Amino acid sequence: MKALAIGLMMWMQANCNVPGVHPAHNLCDLNWDNPAPVITILPQKELARQFRINNGSIPGGDNSRIKGFFVKGTNIIYMKDQDYSKVLYQSDIIHELVHYIQGENSKLDDCDTHYEIPAYLAQIYYYKKKTGRRAISEAIDQYKGRSCNTLY
């Protein structure tokens, strides 16, 4: 997983101009020169449990759908046990790596919209670039509706 994380971080650094990301959250402005985080693969049920233990929350509150999460203030990412040779699942790691880099650059503020939307957009961008197929995330609209959102 470490080699995959390093490769994905290098790809993101080279492809940091993600369409739709507000200039205040431009991923190209972040320092990507960080060691790869520790990525732990867990079965879905254990992943959801760890998410709750680490005070995670998602729009709608259904933790059973969680595919991964970054533990703020650490270098730890937990991911669902799935086939990471597939681009679709690599895009899930991209999302969490964005959070890791945001954390390393002190960009995880009190408004989750301001760090979640750039991560979803990066995830979609990676998938589109690698497959040529269209992708969307319903979560983006849910985060746009948050009262703290001033930019999206």
Half-sphere exposure of 66 (CA within 13 A, CB side): 28
Confidence (pTM): 0.94
Query: What does the pLDDT look like over 80-111, one tens digit per residue?
Result: 999 999 999 999 999 999 999 999 999 998 89
Query: What does the pLDDT look like over 11-59, one tens digit per residue?
Result: 999 999 999 999 999 999 999 999 999 999 999 999 999 998 988 777 6
Of 116, 109, 122, 110, the C-alpha closest to 144 is 116
β-pairing verdict for 38-42 and 68-70: unpaired
pLDDT at residue 60, as a whole number: 65
Q: What is the largest CA-CA distance in the chain?
A: 39
Of 127, 89, 126, the C-alpha closest to 14 is 126
